Structure 1
Amino acid sequence: MKKREKYPGASSYKDRHGKRRWRYRSRGFTAELGSDYGSDEFEQRYQDAVNRQKSKSSEGAGASRTKAGTLDDLVTHFYKLHFPTIGESTRADYRSVIEPLRLKHGKKRIAHMKIRHVMAIKAEMHETPMQANKMLKRLSQMMDLAVTMDWVAANPVLGVSKYATTSEGYHSWDEGEIARFYEVHPLGSPAHICMTLMLYTGAAKVDAVKLGPANVKDGRIEYRRQKTSKNPSGVLISLPIHPALVAALAARPVTFTYLETGHNKARSRKGLGTSMRKWCDKAGLPLCSSHGLRKAICRRIAEAGGTPYEIMAVSGHVTLAMAQKYCETFGRRDMADSAFSRLTGTKAEQNLTNHPERFVNKSSNTL
């Protein structure tokens, strides 16, 4: 039963040799998924089937073989080497970018790829610049692997610039939006505890739905992000429980997880996202989302003068670049205020009136 929930629409059967195989069926569409349940190949076939496409690798043993040195071959190597280090949700994000590229150019040889070819692929996606930039990032990762394996001498993607975009990603909640949400959703409601839990832990949806009393140790909430749990550099997040969160948890007793449904069942990541969308719309906050709460706690730390390392300790980021971005984006106003406070009513400002001698007007007229 659990396996079917993980892959909705997939069911098993035994072939004429008695071997168990899996098949996807949905609204008249059928696709074979193979016999290696849960493998990378199985997940690839399942993703193709969900998109109502029959994966070539599911059409038979002979069809599943890839030619050495092709993009198909490189993708296979990339999945095997890189996917064990990332979480399941991140894998799905990678596949959403890589598989369309593979479907269109999979049979082409990597050794023949030049900068002009990468530019042509980028140009085909000009209507979706952010998606094009994601494609360039994933393709560059794969080409770095090709360089490591001596398939090519250099990475041609490095010579192609990304599209300039004005989007800063998910909207970060401001204090007015947070206050408005709490006005509409009072203490004790599912929306209130969801908001408070994510706002004061910085947990992503996939992690927030798993948090519960079992994560509380010595008065702190501790967990490992699913996104980095398989990464050797993934760190344990240990946070003090904010008084607002203490009040929210006390107002809504739970059995297993803090965000469980009214029937004491775990809430799914997608279910949480759908619920948050409804709750935000009810509060008249169309720009706000659950991921924006993760950015909001980082913003608060930055505006309070927190360092990038303090942000990383809360958010679980494993690289300094993203945490530094929060400080640069949200800490500027306070830094400007601090800078001007140094100029106002200080000896430094008074010294500015003592102009260098060359700027003093000298007159030959005597009194």
Structure 2
Amino acid sequence: MGRPRMNKVLPKYTSAFTDAHGIRRIRFRRTGWETRYIHAEPGTPEFTAAYREWEAEGRKEIAKDLAKPGSFDDLIERFYRSKHWQDIKETTQYTYRGEIERFRAKYGGRSASKMTAKHVGNLIAQMSGTPSAANNLRKRLGQLFKFSIQLGWRADNPASVVSGIRVKSQGYPTWQEEHIAQFEAHWPRGTKQRLAFDLALYTAQRRSDVRIMGPQHVRDGAIAVKQLKTGRPMMIPIHPELAASIASMPVAHLAFITTEAGALFSTKSFGMWFAKQAKAAGLVGYSMHGLRKAASRRMAETGLTNQEIKAITGHVTDSEVARYTREAEQALIARRAMAKMSQVVWLRGGDSDLATVSQVSEN
């Protein structure tokens, strides 16, 4: 019997090779990170656990022994080793680390105890052209200063008294029905682009979850999802449109959607790839997250309750749902409301001031 065939779906920074002894191996390798080798097959729980552990713990502490005591380099390294950092979700750590490291690249050697609120304010003001990035940096600095207080380095948190920059943007635009029709006309069923689109629109999940969906997640007419951001396990019933899209696209990998090389997309690259496909359909600025909002809009317009919507999107609170459904078509909902109102007449002088039209007809 030949050697079992290795699945070609490998996540970013992972490669498969045959060593000098003829043994096939898988390697996790990235600049600035510890190189690790794994024997588990891609797609197995053991492989996924090993990869996530490497993502969380494999980064080398650069110049750890050279950090100037009391500097931001020193503070940040301590923060990464603290329980505060370990309590942050893995996916959030990835985002936070990028924001912290960009600040560290410029100011890592400066004293963490001498930065004042004026300094923080000037730094945020310099980033006024990118208000979201400025506000995120203010939050990260607030975390670092709060940690420095616990270390006894400071007695105050200068970031806490600096106001953020007001962001006027409404966020990712919600796909309206004309946009959905335009994409569908350009990318018909049987294309990878259309399958990615339908997975996002008909499951209402984030791109981080859509990118790893595959045949193995389909169970009893539903797609099993464990949301990467929340850790919440969910079963999303498969909409007939999505079922038709899946059936029209042969899949030879553990994931429905892969790169041209047959590898698993990273969350960022998946979003960038999809944006290009939307642009090719003439939809500039429309993202996969906008499809999550479109799905929520459709559910609101259909008349689903907040509880029903949350059961699909995975949101926890009604306020979170409201952010996604506020763009539901006012005219459509108003017509439905008026149709209900038209079935009611107000009587005068009887036992009740209200009755339905059907009740009046019967009388």
TM-score of the pair, normalised by structure 1: 0.69
Specify the alignment match of 2:77 in structure 1. 76
Q: Which 10-residue stretch deviates more, 309-318 or 168-177?
A: 309-318
Gaps of 5+ in 2: 1-7, 16-28, 37-53, 349-363
Specify the alignment match of 1:53 in structure 2. none
**1:118 maps to which of 117, 120, 128:** 120
Residue 184 of structure 1: how far off its partner (Å): 1.5
Residue 208 of structure 1: how far off its partner (Å): 1.6
Preserved CA contact (<8 Å) 2:315 2:321: yes
Specify the alignment match of 1:357 in structure 2. none
Q: Deviations over 1:46-99 (max 9, x none)?
A: xxxxxxxxxxx34xx641x4524x433332343333554556554332223211
Specify the alignment match of 1:101 in structure 2. 103
Specify the alignment match of 2:298 in structure 1. 300
CA distance in 1, matches of 2:56, 2:11: 17
Residue 346 of structure 1: how far off its partner (Å): 7.0
One-letter identity of the residue aligned with 1:279: Q
Shift in CA distance, 277/35, structure 1 to aligned 2, threshold 3 Å: closer
Once the two structures are superposed, the pairs formed by residues 263-282 of structure 1 within 5 Å of their partners are 265-269=262-266, 272-282=270-280
Residue 121 of structure 1: how far off its partner (Å): 1.4
Q: Deviations over 1:287-324 (max 9, x none)?
A: 21222222221222233344444443323345654323
Preserved CA contact (<8 Å) 2:255 2:264: no
RMSD (Å), alpha carbons: 3.9
Shift in CA distance, 88/137, structure 1 to aligned 2, threshold 3 Å: same
Residue 224 of structure 1: how far off its partner (Å): 1.0
**2:59 maps to which of 37, 40, 43:** 43
One-letter identity of the residue aligned with 2:59: E
**1:206 maps to which of 205, 208, 224:** 208
**1:251 maps to which of 241, 248, 251:** 248
Preserved CA contact (<8 Å) 1:257 1:266: no
Give the match's secondary structure for 1:239: strand
CA distance in 1, matches of 2:161, 2:335: 41
CA distance in 1, matches of 2:107, 2:259: 48
Shift in CA distance, 327/184, structure 1 to aligned 2, threshold 3 Å: closer
One-letter identity of the residue aligned with 1:247: A
CA distance in 1, matches of 2:235, 2:264: 23
Preserved CA contact (<8 Å) 2:10 2:264: no
CA distance in 2, matches of 1:338, 1:316: 27
CA distance in 1, matches of 2:148, 2:301: 43
Specify the alignment match of 1:291 in structure 2. 289
Once the two structures are superposed, the pairs formed by residues 179-198 of structure 1 within 5 Å of their partners are 179-198=181-200
Residue 285 of structure 1: how far off its partner (Å): 0.9
CA distance in 2, matches of 1:108, 1:93: 23
CA distance in 2, matches of 1:244, 1:108: 56
Shift in CA distance, 77/342, structure 1 to aligned 2, threshold 3 Å: farther
CA distance in 1, matches of 2:80, 2:315: 23
Specify the alignment match of 2:13 in structure 1. 6
Specify the alignment match of 2:18 in structure 1. none
Gaps of 5+ in 1: 9-21, 25-32, 46-56, 229-233, 351-367
Aligned residues: 309
TM-score of the pair, normalised by structure 2: 0.70
One-letter identity of the residue aligned with 1:225: Q
1:222 aligns with 2:224: yes
Identity value in percent: 33
Residue 162 of structure 1: how far off its partner (Å): 1.6
One-letter identity of the residue aligned with 1:130: S
Shift in CA distance, 250/264, structure 1 to aligned 2, threshold 3 Å: farther
Preserved CA contact (<8 Å) 2:225 2:236: no
